Structure 1
């Protein structure tokens, strides 16, 4: 962890009293430049007391600068760790021409678990399933720089699986991978996608290392084949580490808060 002397050597001497703009904005600019040039992803910053003493500002001013950098996705405050340099934002492609299929080679999702359940009413409506109809629930996570940035439940109705599918077959992640392989047999008919801002539920917050109620990006996708919905997913992304992208048109940053 860099000490105050190391930080001073990195960013140089800054006389915040003489700058015309608000102190916290200038301090944010100085710290942002240091993050770009000198700090690595995951590196822990000195504590607030050391930073405030170094720049000769009140801790309230320092917190304003750090909070803005956190909102911009440059820093993360991790429980039990401190303030660390955030990894680059993850692009979430929401363009209508995006046709990736669950389980394709090279995708960023990691299968964690799978079980047969009766989907909640909201998922059943996505799948056009009658009440009580079962589906496989494949739970997946998306990682970057060793951190979980998204969690997903992919619902696959029993009718989407081959006639010889063994309901009492493998369990856990192996079962989930088997379900994903079944989806590869379909002649793909496209997909639709909806994006909305939401608040992290307790289970999602735990998996994403966030506090319950933290801002998240909820992406709901339906996959079509053979004239029907063969799967639907609800993915929850950390709003502080993700950005929306639209094919080749670039991205739109999503700021938490």
Structure 2
């Protein structure tokens, strides 16, 4: 990379530096290549490391860079187009229906976050069924999801064990919850999306650093005129480009 004079540029230094770095990524670096360390980059461009970090963070947010544990900052591949629009017709709109690209990891009983509890119409502190799912592309994790289902939506399902079982038993439990949902006639779905930061658990499951940019998609499943389930899906913002079919909006539940 060459140097550039930033002192006389009227826009913020980090923003101009981001533009210069972006051009360099296109012309000098290959996908997956590791960038020089912050000290070298800051010296080369004559900026403070804080300014450099702002530019790198913006490029990561835009999906041009990835921070990888034990590796460093690398050039990101093009974003994967992910269709998150609702499926059309009957039970196929429920999570876990045939053709669903999500993998069910396990199910347990858990207290949902307060905004989810309000959408479900259950009191705070009330345990509901929680089904943990994941989604991959090219063998890499791109999204994680929790589907919250109140007992009233799946009355035929027996209570879950007190502790989570993340093996075969837990996966079977999660699939059983979703199968019971399919007994209901789905009226429709509402979706919303919001930019957020990866929490520790989501970061671990997505192989990201805590605080990495993510896209949080909230889906409300409606049956019998009420909310039958709520799904909170967290997508890697650096690798995913979300596409939607026509749907309504619900409050995005990013803390």
TM-score normalized by structure 2? 0.69
- 1:68, distance to aligned residue in structure 2 (A): 5.7
Alpha-carbon contact 2:61-2:237 (below 8 Å) kept: no
Alpha-carbon distance in 2 for matches of 1:58, 1:77: 21
Is the contact made by 2:18 and 2:58 (CA closer than 8 Å) also made in structure 1? no
Paired residue for 1:9?
A: none
Per the alignment, do residues 59 and 179 of structure 1 end up closer, same or farther by CA in structure 2, a change over 3 Å counting? Answer: farther
- 1:31 pairs with one of 14, 18, 25: 25
Q: For 1:166, which of 158, 172, 196 is the aligned residue?
A: 158
- Which residue number in structure 2 is paired with residue 190 of structure 1? 188
In 2, are the aligned partners of 1:32 and 1:69 still within 8 Å (CA)? no
CA offsets per residue over residues 88-143 of structure 1, 9 Å max, x none? Answer: 42445566x65542012333322122101233322211111244543210011222
Cα distance between partner residues in 1 of 2:77 and 2:152: 40
- Which protein has the larger Cα radius of gyration, Structure 1 or Structure 2? 1
Q: Could you tell me how far 1:189 is from its partner in structure 2?
A: 0.7
**2:71 is the alignment partner of 1:81:** yes
1:115 and 1:171 in contact (8 A); partners too = no
Match of 2:144 in 1: 151
Which structure 1 segments of 5+ residues have no match?
1-13, 249-257
1:253 paired residue number: none
SS at match of 2:117: helix
CA distance in 2, matches of 1:60, 1:28: 16
**Residue of structure 1 equivalent to 2:128:** 135
- What residue in structure 2 maps to residue 177 of structure 1? 175
**Secondary structure of 1:171's match?**
helix
> How many residues are treated as equivalent by the alignment?
224
Structure 2: runs of 5+ lacking an equivalent: 10-15, 162-167, 247-255
In 2, distance between residues paired with 1:112 and 1:59? 48
Give the deviation of 1:70 after TM superposition: 3.1
Q: Give the 5 Å matches for 1:46-61.
A: 47-48=36-37, 57-58=44-45
Q: Is the 8 A contact 2:35 2:75 kept in 1?
A: no
Aligned 8 A contact 2:3 2:45 in 1: no
Give 1:52-131 correspondences, 5 Å limit: 57-58=44-45, 69-93=59-83, 99=88, 100-131=93-124
Cα separation, 1, equivalents of 2:17 and 2:229: 51
In structure 2, the residue matched to 1:45 is 34
When normalised by structure 1's length, the TM-score is 0.69
Question: Which structure ranks higher in relative contact order (CA pairs < 8 Å, sequence separation ≥ 6)?
Answer: 2
**Maintained 8 Å contact 1:28/1:68:** no
* Equivalent-residue separation in structure 2 for 1:46 and 1:57 (angstroms): 13
